[in-house]
Structures are given as C-alpha cells and as structure tokens.
Amino acid sequence: MTHTADCRSDRKGLVIVHTGDGKGKTTAALGLFLRAWGRDMRSGGIQFLKHENANYGEHRAIRRMGIELTPMGDGFTWTSRDIDETQDRAIHGWEIAKQKIADGQYDLFLLDEFTYPLHYGWLDTTTVLAWLRDNKPPMLHLVITGRYAPQALIDFADLVTEMKQIKHPWSDQGIKAQKGVEF
C-alpha cells in the first residue's frame, strides 16, 4: 500500500498543533502514539528540547512499543547560556526530522516542542512550512507541540488545540512534579 494510492478525498494526513501554557501538549501527543500503536500504525518523532540522554517514563514506554522518539535538545533550552549550541541542536534536529518525514516510513510523526525553535527564530518558520508543504507525505499525520505556536504555523495546521492552564499544583500549591504522571 503506498501513501498515494490511499489518498482518498475524505482521508488526509493532518497537521496537528498542541500549543498553550497548560499541561497536556506532549502528553496528548503520546496519547496519539498509543492510539496509533493500537492500529498498528508506524510512529516516530523528534523531541527538540528534552535532553538527549533523557530516560523518562515516556521513553521507556515508547521503546517497549517499538516507537523511535529521538531527544535532540540540550535539556536547558531557552534559558541556556550557550544559545549557539541550542540553535545548532535545533537545526540538527530539524535536518534529521526532514529525512524521517520525507522518507515515508511513518504514519504519525511528532515534532515535540518544535514551536520554540520557530518562535525564537533558530529556524525560519516560512522556510520550514514551505518544506513541509512540498515534502510531507500526504497521508502522514504530523504533530507539533509547544508554547507560542507562530500564527503562520496555526494557519498551516489542520487541527490546533490550545492547552490552557486553569489550575496547576506546582505553581498553585507548591507540590513537586510527580514521577509517572509529569515525566
């Protein structure tokens, strides 16, 4: 089955954006992985801001599921003092992402926290969206998460959800992040 042959008018690969200041942006992307895994769809992704040696609950789960989720960030991101290295890693992550997206081996691909390189200008949004317009396989579902989604990305996307913080125990009650839920 090729992607092209399967591209009926009522089916298409969606560009999905999870943005906003609330919890659940990456978590909902993981839920999409879970659902896709239940359908034997092929999923993968790049995490732009997680440390490359990270080994959190989601990574353990995803390895067990045979899903490749590659952490590319340096783990301290926009607060990093070494902004050049952060930018280099974002550029490198996007190069890897482009190869993985273009080669058509995925049904679902995640660019986790990819809005930050766009928002902070480490990558040029117009160039990125032009590349996606030309190269994203039509049936591939692409999920992009992170705060500050640029308006051009929202315009480009099919489905955009804002995760809005209503109440947060860490900020409101001083409760620490909980293993297995938060990370």
**In DSSP terms, which residues pair with 157 in a beta bridge?**
none
Of residues 1, 5, 64, 79, which one binds a second copy by CB under 8 A?
A: 64
Q: Which is nearer to a second copy, 97 or 139 (CB)?
A: 139
Q: Which is nearer to a second copy, 92 or 169 (CB)?
A: 169
Contact 44, 110 (CB under 8 A): yes
Is residue 178 close enough to count as binding a second copy by CB under 8 A?
yes
Q: Which is nearer to a second copy, 30 or 97 (CB)?
A: 30
Is residue 31 close enough to count as binding a second copy by CB under 8 A?
yes
Is residue 142 close enough to count as binding a second copy by CB under 8 A?
no
CB-based contacts of 36: which residues, under 8 Å, 6+ apart? 42, 43, 107, 108, 141
Is residue 179 close enough to count as binding a second copy by CB under 8 A?
yes
Candidates 25, 29, 71; CA nearest to 49 is: 71
CB of 164 to a second copy, least distance (A): 4
**In DSSP terms, which residues pair with 44 in a beta bridge?**
68, 109
Q: Which is nearer to a second copy, 89 or 136 (CB)?
A: 136
CB-based contacts of 99: which residues, under 8 Å, 6+ apart? none
Is residue 162 close enough to count as binding a second copy by CB under 8 A?
yes
